[in-house]
Amino acid sequence: MKCKIKNIDINYEIIGEGIPVLMIHGYYADLRLMKGCMEPIFEKKSGYKRIYFDLPGMGSSGFLNFVDSSDAILDVVIEFIKNIIKDENFLLVGESYGGYISLGLVHKLRKNIDGMLLICPCIEPILEKRKVPSHIVLKRNFKLLAKLSPSEFKNIECNMVVQDEHMWTRYKKEVLSGVELYNREALQSIKEKSYQYSFSIKNMEDKFEKPTMFLLGRQDSVVGYKDSFSILDNFPRATFTILDRAGHNLQIEQEKLFNTLCNQWLSIIENEKPVSSNVIYDLAK
């Protein structure tokens, strides 16, 4: 489906009914990244309306020149929320740059967000300031590598910590398929000149008190895991998990653990019950 947001055609897809869950993919990718990792979780559950969309200049969404910064992209996302989710509260799932946008939404729409899941989130937008490990491959499948073209070989070697047939198939379908579509000139310009917000995501006036989960790759050489510690105190309800054998494609390289942890996050949200301030428990009894 398409909708007009600030005169930009935004491509989106809605699956299911119930509590809105907004899924935000990473830079250069498209909604297939989020569908690939989140639908196996939600298709076994009822009561959730999953909202997938392509950010401006990515996937099948359009682009206009006024979208010249992360601030502008965030503004488009906020308008998309106002048009599609309206005044409902929602859950938020963001991967990589989608995590950066999610943190921007916490600043702007905090009261509307009932929980947040961050997958390998971008915390430090300036590349040179990121605390990241060197890229490493922990497991190679030489039979698979022998079948790849030179460009495919370079891609898997540079981007995957664990290499096998299943993971490579998912990576091509969910990540590379979207990367082939992005507006190269526009997005590269934003990344070089105005990738950082005009406000700080690290200094929040009020803490985000809703269930939050950080899923981080120990071998993530793109955004790393150490920068996430700098914002952890802003999230007193956060589960903070660093997974071994996981790079920036954690959702693919640690599929089973990823699914388990996402379900745990949802279970916490489902078990949230407001406690009346008038009820006082005598724990001494």
Is pLDDT at 280 greater than 90 in this prediction? no
Please write the tens of the pLDDT for every residue from 30-82.
Answer: 999 999 999 999 999 999 999 999 999 999 999 999 999 999 999 999 999 99
User: 151 lies in a domain?
Assistant: no
Token representation of residue 33 = 């990244």
Please report the pLDDT score of residue 284 as a whole number: 45
- Each residue of 220-237: pLDDT tens digit? 999 999 999 999 999 999
Instruction: State which residues form the domain around 245.
Output: 2-133+183-270
99: Cβ–Cβ under 8 A, 6 or more apart, which residues? 24, 118, 119, 120, 121, 122, 123
Compute how many other C-beta atoms are within 10 angstroms of the C-beta atom of residue 9.
Answer: 15
Q: What is the pLDDT of residue 203?
A: 86
- Record the pTM: 0.95
Query: Mind listing the pLDDT tens digit for each residue in 212-224?
Result: 999 999 999 999 9
**Above pLDDT 70, what percent of the chain?**
95
Identify whether 78 is part of a domain: yes
12 within some domain:
yes
Q: What average pLDDT does the segment 89-101 reach?
A: 99
| Placement of tokens 């934003």 in the chain | 190
Q: Is residue 95 part of a domain?
A: yes
pLDDT at 36: 99
285 inside domain: no
Q: Is the pLDDT of residue 1 over 50?
A: yes
Mean pLDDT computed over every residue of the chain: 95
Average pLDDT over residues 94-110: 98
| Number of residues assigned to the chain | 285
Give the model's pLDDT for residue 273.
62
pLDDT classification of 274: cutoffs 50, 70, 90: low
In a domain, 118, yes or no: yes
Contacts of 154 (CB under 8 A, 6+ apart): none
Confirm whether 145 is domain-assigned: no
Does the pLDDT value for residue 21 go beyond 50?
yes
- If you average pLDDT over residues 238-256, what whole number do you get? 99
d(CA 25, CA 10): 14
pLDDT range class, residue 177, cuts 50, 70, 90: very high
Residue 277: is its pLDDT beyond 50? no
**Measured distance CA(258)–CA(70) in Å, rounded:** 28
What pLDDT was estimated at residue 205? 86
CATH number for the domain harbouring residue 37: 3.40.50.1820
pLDDT value for 41: 97
Q: What is the pLDDT of residue 272?
A: 87
Phi, psi (rounded to 5 degrees) for 79:
-65, -35
Q: Determine, yes or no, domain membership for 83.
A: yes
Q: Structurally, how many domains does the chain consist of?
A: 1
Distance of CA 258 to the CA centre of its chain: 13
